[in-house]
Chains A and B, each alone.
With several copies, the nearest count.
Chain A
Amino acid sequence: MELILSKFTKRFGATTVISEMDLHVGAGEMLALLGPSGCGKSTTLFAICGIHRMDGGSLHFGDRDVTTLPAQRRSVKVVFQNYALYPHMSVSDNIAFPLRVKRHDRATITRKVGAIAELVHIGELLDRKPAQLSGGQQQRVALARAMVREPDVLLLDEPLANLDAKLRLEMRTEIRRVQRETGITAILVTHDQVEAMSMCDRIALMRAGQIEQLATPVQMYENPANQFVAGFMGNPPISFLPAHLGERITLSGGNSLPRPDRLAGQGPITLGLRPEHLGPQFGQGLRGTITFVEPQGREDLIDVRLTGGEALRAILPSGHGHAIGDSVDWGVRGDRLLAFSTDGERI
Chain B
Amino acid sequence: MSRTAAVPGLRIWHLVAVLSAMSAPLVIMYAFQIIDSVASPAPGALWPTGFDLNNWRFLWESVDSGRPGIWQVTFNTFVFASVTSLSVCAFSLTAAYALSRLNFPARRFFLAGLIVLHAFPTITLIIAIFIILQYLGLYDTLAGVILVKAALELPFGIWIMKGFYDTVPWEIEMAGVQDGASRFRVWWSLVLPQVQPGLAALLIISFLSGWSEFVLPLVLAPGAGAQVLATYMNAVIASETTQDFGLFKAIGMFYTRPVIVIYLIFQKRLMNIYGGGTKG
Contacts and interface: CB of A to CB of B under 8 A. Distances in A.
Interface residues of B, number: 24
B190 interface: yes
Contacts of A202: none
A301 to B, nearest CB: 31
A84 B171 contact: yes
B178 A71 contact: yes
A320 B278 CA distance: 52
B258 interface: no
A71 B8 contact: yes
B182 interface: yes
A192 to B, nearest CB: 20
A46 interface: yes
Interface stretch (A96-104, A175-183, A287-295, A331-339): A96-104
Q: Interface range on chain A: under 10, 10 to 19, 20 to 34, or 35 or more?
A: 20 to 34
A72 B189 CA distance: 16
B169 interface: yes
A306 interface: no
B1 A82 contact: no
Given A73-B180, A84-B175, A97-B181, 20 more contacts: A12-B1, A53-B8, A71-B8, A71-B174, A72-B178, A72-B180, A72-B182, A80-B174, A82-B169, A82-B171, A84-B169, A84-B171, A86-B175, A97-B176, A97-B179, A97-B189, A101-B181, A101-B185, A102-B180, A145-B179
Interface of A: 12-13, 46, 49, 51-53, 70-73, 76-78, 80-82, 84-88, 97-98, 101-102, 145-146, 149
30 contacts: A12-B1, A13-B1, A46-B2, A51-B2, A51-B174, A51-B177, A70-B8, A71-B178, A72-B181, A72-B182, A73-B180, A77-B178, A78-B174, A78-B175, A80-B174, A82-B169, A82-B171, A84-B174, A84-B175, A85-B172, A86-B172, A97-B189, A98-B180, A101-B179, A101-B180, A101-B181, A102-B180, A145-B179, A146-B178, A149-B179
Interface of B: 1-2, 5-6, 8-9, 169, 171-172, 174-182, 185, 189-190, 193-194, 278
